[in-house]
Amino acid sequence: MDTIHESSDPQGERACVDSKNLEELLSLAMAINRVAKCFSEDSEDREVCLEGLRRASEILRWKLEDIDITGALQDLEVFLRSPYVYESSYTTSDPIMLKARLSSLYRSFNVVERGEMSDHISVEIEFLSFLLAKIITSTIKNNESECRDSLKAAHIMIKEHLLNWIPLIKERISSSKTAKIMEIIENLTRKAENILG
């Protein structure tokens, strides 16, 4: 279930996130946030998307020149008009329940999705970026409870949502140049999963 409850570590031994990982987590959060703009229908977001792809290529140690960004963004225009940008197109026979669970998770952090549906890829990716930022700030502020709640929500987004359906998107659009952008998102998400433990 996608709800967050305040948690505590009875032993109080382990920090929510190792402070040595904060800089890497910040870079990751920024790249994820900007790559999410690739899925915006607003053409003004294309520059932000490109910046995100540049950041992602640095984090993943990929050569951006090896990726046909122009072709991927052109293919993305068609992809955005398809039902394939919604998690419910891949993972459930009950899309209403899925969307309600996601909306509930978002609201538990005072986030209300606007315009797009709660299971739209850009909303889910931006929410993950938001959670990573909350983990960073709560770690800096020594707010263990907020950090743990944000960490738990990030694990839900990563394991139960993003990594559950991004591989399915990649498979469905494997012949499209947009598949490379999905591979970038999948790898950034896996990197976040590895850092968060």
Structure tokens at 148: 């743990």
Task: Work out the angle between the directed axes of helices 178-196 and 163-172 (0-180°, nearest 10).
Answer: 160
Residue 177: the pLDDT is 85
**What is the residue-level pLDDT of the chain in tens, covering all 197 positions?**
454 444 444 434 456 888 889 999 999 999 999 999 988 877 778 889 989 999 999 999 988 777 778 888 888 888 888 888 899 999 888 999 999 999 999 999 999 877 668 999 999 999 999 999 999 999 999 999 999 999 999 999 999 999 999 999 999 888 888 888 899 999 999 999 999 98
Q: Where are the domains of the chain?
A: 19-196
Within 8 A by CB and 6+ apart from 49, the residues are: 34, 35, 37, 38, 40, 73
pTM of the model: 0.88
Residue 64: the pLDDT is 75
Which CATH number is 19-196's, of 1.10.220.10, 3.40.50.800, 1.10.260.40, 1.10.3480.10? 1.10.3480.10
Residue 82: the pLDDT is 84
Beta bridge partners of 86: 120
